[in-house]
Structure 1
Amino acid sequence: MKLAIRAVLSVILVFAPGLAGAQATDPGDDKTMVFTPGDPEMAAATARALASLDEFLALSEAPPAGAERFKLKVKVRDGNITEHFWVVPFRRTETGFVGILSNQPAEVRNVVLGQNIEFTREDISDWGYKRNGRQVGSFTVCVMLKRMPKEEADSMLENYGFDC
């Protein structure tokens, strides 16, 4: 049996400027898409994010003017199910990272929206931030947008400043 990986895209909390904390999101605004393990486009997007992770982390620690909303996408496993979530905000710890889970789980039951979670570098699958109103990074989101209905994807590209 092939296991599916769920990738989560939170429209309100992750991309809307000025929202702080997980309480600001409406769980109904999360978009969940299923990707099979090894999906070539998603694997390429994750590889691209991980190849530039060190530069992103350095930037997040000393943000330039106009840069905000630094976020990491991390995988959470619950038995045989893996789901990916944005963590906003996050910070480094001695053993990895900690941050607030910013999406409503669709499949996993071992975490909840707004929970502080600890994770390691190996759990990271993407990163992103806003610079002067435009999204930087969020490589996996661009893959997801390609598979969404055109009207919905076009709206997100325009309203949230993606350059996919």
Structure 2
Amino acid sequence: MIRSVLSAFAATTLFTVLLGLQSALSQDNPNVKMSPNGDPAMIKAHEKSEKGLDDFLEKLSNPPEGTENYAVKLGFEDKGTGIALTTDQAGAQVEYMWVYQIKPSGDHYTALLGDTPQYIQNIKPDEKVEFKKSDIFDWTYVDHGKMKGNYTACPLLLAGPKEELQQYRDEFGLECE
């Protein structure tokens, strides 16, 4: 199940909001939004993310002036004493979270977990994560103060209150169709 959190706007930096924008789910948390397994809008958002992934990775490797706060969303599953990464949208125990401070390392990447897991027990915030390009579910960065990517936020925002969607459009330039 794809799970996402919409953070409060009181965050002190745009990156804090970006990292908190989508995180793990907790049914007791009033800031949490759920997306059902196999949600067509979320599938479309992931496909859109995949189409722009190479361009994102190029910018990440040589960030243009005025860009910052690069992050990717990965799907995590608990596996015994460790974790596994997945892009399987039908997985019942998948928690999608953002990682940041992304560094290429050979044929893979390393980054730090930017969210606080709600269900996954075998990883903590700011813990190092190793992943491949094929593990990336979504991506985002800020270009001159405007959010780019973060396609998986749109299905959640479009299903919620119109005021919330408008606030994200106004404050971060998020473009949802």
Unaligned runs of 5+ in 2: 80-91
Q: CA deviation at 1:111?
A: 1.2
Question: Identity rate of aligned residues, in percent?
Answer: 29
Aligned length: 154
Deviations 1:91-116 (A, max 9, x none): 11124111111111122111111111
Q: Give the whole-Å Cα distance in 1 for the aligned partners of 2:60 and 2:30.
A: 25
Asked if 2 retains the 8 angstrom alpha-carbon contact of 1:10 and 1:102, the reply is: no
For residue 149 of structure 2, what is the aligned residue in structure 1?
137
For residue 152 of structure 1, what is the aligned residue in structure 2?
164
Asked if 2 retains the 8 angstrom alpha-carbon contact of 1:15 and 1:160, the reply is: no
For residue 6 of structure 1, what is the aligned residue in structure 2?
3
Deviations 1:41-73 (A, max 9, x none): 000100111122111101111111111111111
For residue 67 of structure 1, what is the aligned residue in structure 2?
67
- Match of 1:117, SS? strand
For the structure 1 residues 148 and 106, does the alpha-carbon distance in structure 2 shift closer, same or farther, using more than 3 Å as the test?
farther
**One-letter amino acid of the structure 1 residue matched with residue 38 of structure 2:** G
For residue 113 of structure 2, what is the aligned residue in structure 1?
101
Q: CA deviation at 1:83?
A: 0.7
Q: Give the whole-Å Cα distance in 2 for the aligned partners of 1:107 and 1:157.
A: 30
Q: CA deviation at 1:8?
A: 4.3
TM-score, scaled relative to structure 1: 0.80
TM-score, scaled relative to structure 2: 0.74
Asked if 2 retains the 8 angstrom alpha-carbon contact of 1:97 and 1:119, the reply is: yes
For the structure 1 residues 7 and 18, does the alpha-carbon distance in structure 2 shift closer, same or farther, using more than 3 Å as the test?
closer
For the structure 1 residues 108 and 30, does the alpha-carbon distance in structure 2 shift closer, same or farther, using more than 3 Å as the test?
farther
- Note the aligned Cα RMSD (angstroms): 2.8
Unaligned runs of 5+ in 1: none
1:47 aligns with 2:59: no
**One-letter amino acid of the structure 1 residue matched with residue 73 of structure 2:** K
Q: More displaced, 72-81 or 101-110?
A: 72-81
**One-letter amino acid of the structure 2 residue matched with residue 132 of structure 1:** H
Q: More displaced, 111-120 or 154-163?
A: 154-163
**One-letter amino acid of the structure 2 residue matched with residue 65 of structure 1:** E
Q: Give the whole-Å Cα distance in 2 for the aligned partners of 1:116 and 1:61.
A: 19
Structure with the higher helix share, 1 or 2:
1
1:118 aligns with 2:115: no
Asked if 1 retains the 8 angstrom alpha-carbon contact of 2:35 and 2:156, the reply is: no
Q: CA deviation at 1:31?
A: 4.6
